[in-house]
Chain A
């Protein structure tokens, strides 16, 4: 067993196997576990995936949405136990791996064309 296999097998123990396939441009609903005075509950966070970084156990997605007129971006460690679930709501047709251009746009210009060829 070589070095990379050992490290990957350590990571594999903690990686989630039930994740949906996430593409750039997808609208996703992320269930975030938050603790409030000893109680745990799941809070949903909805937005567009504008970037995906790294791989393996360290994989992250950047989810952007407009909240009360202000753009909010959150980076989620996909395999973290703090992320309870990820649900894909809509797939879009995009031509880039990073949708950072959405940051400079407001209103109608931020719309992405929906695509139907990729099943959820």
Chain B
């Protein structure tokens, strides 16, 4: 387990690699994050580092939040996030975490909130097929059958239906970092990431899954 960083999605563009091929990249302005709390085995029962990101005016936070940030002498921050670590010895309160914790070519996981699409129908939400649009058909975007009749006499839980789509946490795994710009706190990641420009993103080193 190693520490990640919080950032803002800025948008997408493309770069040319050494072969001359165009690579789509997402520009992320990440950090600097400030260590706001260090959790240890003695005090909290587990080891973790809490970091803050996103400067706001003091008016935007309430006094308990400001009091919590005062311990690390951080300016008022909008977002707090905890990273569980094996050891926390190398971190001090108020320490800055910058994009140089990542290297070019490294694989990262990106956690963000997908674009909210509101109440979406069957086709958009679950990729149902649609009915014929003409020849007397009145079934255009209906779902069809939702199950058997008198037995069981109910619709089984988990039946795919219309409802809220998007606006939920999404993890995109194993994206390659193309470029790290320490001066401007930028990360350039190959591929697309959840959310619109301005969305909060959590960048962590890629977690190994399986063998």
Residues in A lying within 8 Å of B, measured CB to CB: 1, 3-4, 6-7, 10-11, 14, 33, 56-58, 77, 79-82
Contact = CB atoms under 8 A, between A and B. Distances in A.
Interface core residue of A33, A58, A79, A81 (most chain B CB under 10 Å): A81
Contacts of A3: 10-11, 197-198
B29 interface: yes
B208 interface: no
B20 A80 contact: yes
A82 B18 CA distance: 10
Nearest to A33: B20
Interface string B1-28: 0000000001101111000101000010
Contacts of B10: 3, 6-7
| Dominant SS among interface residues on chain B | strand
A10 B20 contact: no
Contact of B16 (A4, A7, A14): A14
A11 B11 CA distance: 12
Contacts of B14: 57-58
B159 interface: no
B15 A6 contact: no
A57 B27 CA distance: 15
